[in-house]
Amino acid sequence: MAIKSSILETVGNTPIVRINKLGPATVELYAKLEAFNPLGSVKDRLALGMIEAAEKDGSLRPGQTVIEATSGNTGIGLAMVCAQKGYSLVITMAESFSVERRKLMRFLGAKVILTPASEKGTGMVGKAKELAEKHGWFLARQFENEANADMHSRTTAREILADFEGLGLDYWVTGFGTGGTLKGVSRVLRAESPGTRIVVAEPENSQLLSSGIPQERNQDGSASGSHPSFERHMMQGWTPDFIPKLAGDAQAAGVIDLLQPVAGADALQCVHDLARQEGIFCGISGGATMAAALSVARSAPDGSRILAMIPDTGERYLSTPLFENVAETMTEEEMNIAASTPRFRFDVAGGAGAASGPH
């Protein structure tokens, strides 16, 4: 591989891998693993795309502070980009999102302003707007920023088409957070691979696109308040409490062929199944997308090729319910294994670390 001039040149070109054990034998199931981006999520793409577009059009000036509202992954991506390019970054984030995310952003040099969980996504967006106006900072506006979708059209969509060239792709499955991946990839697939059906997954208990209820918007396209169909769900990074403009654009363009609801329990199960049967470590949103792909696979014609977007890695969910049943100390089974040989016995007087002599 060629030497890179900076970490930013490693964004994109993520692998597509075959899922061998989870789906029906009658179809080919694949996953695009966005955790292979340098900071571990698909949002590295839009972070780089938005900053470079703003530099190009002059809306982001040298030395200016960047601010954005995020559930975490966009903020982590922006922290990487801003650190490399020399911008200060301030993030607003609802306090309900995982602790690991805020620590990662702070580690990369960002300031993280928490907003009340009761205010949901609209609260953190509103706070970011207030701070941008007060201090003259550059507001990235990921939910409406066309540079977000454009980056996916230039990179993600092209990678998918190249990897399936000569094979064909029957279904592309994704959730939506900002809607940038959905809008950017779907328009390219619709134009250049019209036989690919586009499936959008939503939390079963919070189906905004499926509701048919339009999102109320401000003049700039941003949501003016929470969507009436929103309910709290466990898929962090998926489906905020409003329909982002970019997601609404995709739905209005008629590119969505199927809206697939996903139960939280199914998402969690898929995360565990991917880890323990495929060796793929992802977050809850990735499990949810795979659960949606498996639903599609059960009714898809024999020989269908199905691709699921897996947005991030699982390490930023350690403090969430995803890991609540994972032991920190040795289980009884592990203690029994440890006790099966004499070295470093934990079942003898002296406690952890005590070693017994040979028997």
Reference 40, options 7, 18, 67; nearest CA is 7
Q: Report residue 126: phi and psi, to 5°.
A: -60, -40
- Over the stretch 18-42, which tens digit does the pLDDT of each residue have? 999 999 999 999 999 999 999 999 9
Say if residue 181 carries a ligand binding annotation: yes
Give the list of residues 6+ apart from residue 155 with CB closer than 8 angstroms, or none: 11, 12, 13, 45
Q: What amino acid occupies position 178?
A: T
Query: What's the pLDDT at 108?
Result: 96
- pTM (predicted TM-score): 0.90
Give me the active site residues, please. Answer: 43, 285
Query: What's the pLDDT at 236?
Result: 79
Contact 104, 129 (CB under 8 A): no
- Over the stretch 199-240, which tens digit does the pLDDT of each residue have? 999 999 999 999 999 999 999 999 989 999 999 898 877 888
CATH code of the domain occupying 43-139: 3.40.50.1100
Say if residue 174 carries a ligand binding annotation: no
What does the buried/exposed string (b/e) look like for 246-283 if buried means 16 or more CB atoms within 10 Å of the residue's CB?
A: bbbbbbeeebbeebbbbebebbbebbebbeeebebbbb
Q: Which two tokens stand for residue 56?
A: 């190009």
C-alpha to C-alpha distance for 258 and 65, rounded to whole angstroms: 40
Query: What's the pLDDT at 235?
Result: 86
Domain ranges of the chain: 7-36+158-211+224-317, 43-139
Question: Strand 111-115's sheet: what is its strand order?
Answer: 111-115, 89-94, 66-69, 138-139
Query: What's the pLDDT at 208?
Result: 96
Q: Report the chain (359 residues): mean pLDDT per 10 consecutive residues.
A: 94 98 96 97 97 98 95 93 97 87 93 91 91 96 96 98 97 96 98 98 95 93 92 86 95 96 94 96 95 97 98 86 84 87 67 44
Give the CA-trace dihedral at 205, 210, 213, 218, to 10 degrees: 90
Query: What's the pLDDT at 147?
Result: 98
Say if residue 218 carries a ligand binding annotation: no
Say if residue 178 carries a ligand binding annotation: yes
- The three-class DSSP label of residue 271 is helix
Q: Which fold has domain 7-36+158-211+224-317?
A: Rossmann fold (3.40.50)
Say if residue 340 carries a ligand binding annotation: no
